[in-house]
Structure 1
Amino acid sequence: MTQEAVLQVQMLGGFQVSYGQTEVVARNSRNSKVLQLFAYLVCNRDKMIRQDELIGILLRDEESENPVGMLKNLVYRLRKTLEAAGVTRACIQYKKGAYGFCAAVPCTVDIERFSQRIQNLRENPLPDDEALAQYLEAAELYDGGFLPRFSREPWVVGYSVRYQGMYGECLERACALANHTGEQERLLPYLRKAVKLYPYEETLAVLYLDTLYRAKRVKEALEAYEAICATLLNDLGIGPTERLRQQFDIISSGVQEVTPSVMEVRSRMAEAEREPGAYFCNLEVFTSLYRFVLRHMERSTHSVYLMLCTLKEEDGEALPTGERMRKVSESFRAAVKESLRRGDTYTRYSSSQFVLMLMEIKQEDCDGVAQRIRHRFHRFPKMGRVQLDFKCISAADMDEMMERRENQALASW
């Protein structure tokens, strides 16, 4: 007896449909009203959807004297698509002015399996190790956002928010369980995938960083923090949130084991290899270095200058976020690294600004440093259209200004 073919529908990460070994809808198919009709009917399968609701969903932007006729044409084309793959046209039913995708053929839908798995876990508590395995299996089912090619459609937004929320809940509970069982390593591939899918989602980023830290991957956690902050600056033009900064503070103080050897401490803290050029660090580390340098200057005659560089378009307008910002900032970092000495430090202050700390330098030499950076920066392809604006101030002057303000405040008090 020949086994009956099953209609397999995938909506997470894309829209793809197959019937047995036959592809009905390819993952890279173009958007169309026919596919959107198919997706909407599958999302509401075993229900009959009135014509006026389907017209409002599918033809809301269309001007037509006969919207019912347009809908009938879409249904006809959908049935032809299904029939061409061997699926019976009876799965698209019509009754009393309503259409529905009904169980005329065996069907599996990924969003149903995903949501059912989460619902079962909510209603049926399991031992920690079993629950963790179940949550990870559920996370594996989530292959991306709901119908990303239809993401601008109002009806899709509600579903998308719902399933993304369930995905986040799944990972949060898995992390809580792993913290009890000490199985953080099992979670890391799932959290890497989550951060890649949703690079701007704060909760997922914090879960990933915390899990790396708990798995004693401190160096990897610090690198992940840098990557997350760079993405926020490049794509959104914003810095890390307070929760991310707090997580960084936890990670950066995260040496877990005690060592009796100062040699081992020195070995761990040293750079892996002697790199030429200036030292780049994130803003939090740069701020700590700057405060230390100010304290050191109280007992030395060394001069230190802070240089702020703002990157702009050739006409003076702000640089747009996104891929162009990413390329410009990477080129500027490379130019600064080549232009400064190993004892100098720099960081990214905002999406389009960098701060440089120049050690043991005279004020008259700061212009030369700026020119050197400009020269190296504009050697990169298409960077000639970017304007670099440099401003410089002595760290000692800033320290004196702050001290005067404190004294004035105390005097007035």
Structure 2
Amino acid sequence: MMHPDESIMDVQFFKQFTICYKDKTMILREAMPLRRSSLLAFLMIHHDSVCSVSDLSDIFCAHSKKPEGALRNLIYRIRSALSNVWPDDTFILSRTGGYQWNPKIPVRMDTRIFDALYIQFLETEEIDTRIDLGLQLFKIYSGDFDKLAQSQYEWIQQRSAYYRICMVKLLKTLADDLVSR
């Protein structure tokens, strides 16, 4: 996927939500239903903070009669699926009033790498460097987010739209650079 360092969890959101960690790979759409994989993605993306039970319930369990109980059940099932692959690790922590991705497990996400390179791409004035960065960005952006997930969750749709807009700007800039050469 990204780097072979087993101590860092590599997460790919583009094209297909996939986790690589300790020589094992989990393709989330095969491992769990959409709502669970989307909740896991949300916790991973927001791994620096505690996600409140009320916010998570509103996003993932709004149609349930007992949203907090439904959320607890989703978290339990996600933990079970992850522990089937990585039994020695605890990934989702219960916190006062919420849940959090375990901050002791380092995560490298393709979207964060893309964001950092994209900022460099926008800020650089040197055409050859910008072209090199553009090629790196093309390599990372292997495809749009899961279409079904986008249709079900507005937050995923918004993220997907953001990255598509970045790619359109990238293409326009690269085209302009090539013409100016």
Bin of the TM-score, shorter chain as denominator length: 0.7 to 0.9
Report how many aligned residue pairs link the two structures.
Answer: 175
1:10 corresponds to 2:12: yes
Deviation >6 Å, runs of 4+: none
- What letter corresponds to residue 126 of structure 2 in structure 1? P
- Cα offset, 1:82, TM superposition: 1.8
1:68–1:28 Cα change, 3 Å: closer
Which amino acid is the alignment partner of residue 171 of structure 1? L
Q: How many Å apart are 1:163 and its aligned residue?
A: 1.0
Matches within 5 A, 1:12-411: 12-26=14-28, 28-29=30-31, 31-60=33-62, 62-64=63-65, 66-86=66-86, 88-89=89-90, 91-123=91-123, 125-152=124-151, 153-181=153-181
Structure 1 residues 26 and 93: alpha-carbon distance in aligned structure 2, compared to 1, 3 A threshold:
closer
For 2:47, what is the secondary structure of its paired residue? coil
Deviation, 1:144, is 1.1
Kindly provide the CA deviation profile for residues 13-69 of structure 1, in whole angstroms up to 9, marking residues without a partner as x. 121112132122356556332211101111212111111111111112x232x2211
The structure with the larger Rg is: 1
Aligned in 2, Cα 1:33/1:118: closer, same or farther, shift over 3 Å? Answer: same
Secondary structure at 1:151's aligned position in 2?
A: helix
How far the C-alpha of 1:121 sits from its partner, in A, is 2.1
Q: How far apart are 1:94 and its partner, in Å?
A: 2.1
- Conserved? CA contact 2:7–2:21, under 8 Å: yes
One-letter code of the match for 1:133? Answer: D
Q: Is the alpha carbon distance of 1:10 and 1:27 closer, same or farther for their aligned partners in structure 2, counting shifts above 3 Å?
A: farther
- Cα RMSD (Å): 1.9
Give 1:155 shift: 1.7
Retained in 1: the 8 A contact 2:31–2:81? no
**What residue identity is the alignment partner of 1:77?**
R
Q: Deviations over 1:335-387 (max 9, x none)?
A: xxxxxxxxxxxxxxxxxxxxxxxxxxxxxxxxxxxxxxxxxxxxxxxxxxxxx
Give the TM-score taking structure 1 as reference length.
Answer: 0.40
Aligned partners of 2:64, 2:82: CA distance in 1, in Å?
A: 28
Q: 1:7 touches 1:17 (CA, 8 Å); kept in 2? A: yes
**Bigger RCO (CA 8 Å, 6+ sep):** 2
State the 1:12 CA deviation: 0.8
CA contact (8 A) 1:12 1:111 kept: yes
Structure 2 gap ranges (5+): none
Asked if 2 retains the 8 angstrom alpha-carbon contact of 1:139 and 1:171, the reply is: no
- Structure 2 SS opposite 1:145: coil
| SS of equivalent residue, structure 2 residue 10 | strand
**Displacement of 1:106:** 2.2
- In structure 2, do the counterparts of structure 1 residues 70 and 98 end up closer, same or farther at CA, with 3 Å as the change threshold? same
Give 1:166 shift.
0.9
One-letter amino acid of the structure 2 residue matched with residue 129 of structure 1: D
With normalisation by structure 2, the TM-score equals 0.87
SS in 1 for 2:75: helix
One-letter amino acid of the counterpart of residue 146, structure 1: F
**2-structure distance, mates of 1:170, 1:158:** 18
Compared CA separation, residues 7 and 13, structure 1 to 2 (3 A): same
Aligned-partner Cα distance in 2 for 1:45–1:34: 16
Which amino acid in 2 is paired with 1:165? I
Contact persistence 2:51–2:99 (CA under 8 A): yes
Contact 2:149-2:156 within 8 A present in 1 as well: yes
| TM-superposed deviation, 1:180 | 1.8
Question: What is the alpha-carbon distance in structure 1 between the residues aligned to residue 47 and residue 167 of structure 2?
Answer: 22
- Alignment CA distance shift 1:102-1:26 (3 Å): closer
**Alpha-carbon offset, residue 147 of structure 1:** 3.1
Instruction: Give the Cα separation in 1 of the matches to 2:64 and 2:93.
Output: 26
Percent identity between the two aligned chains: 21
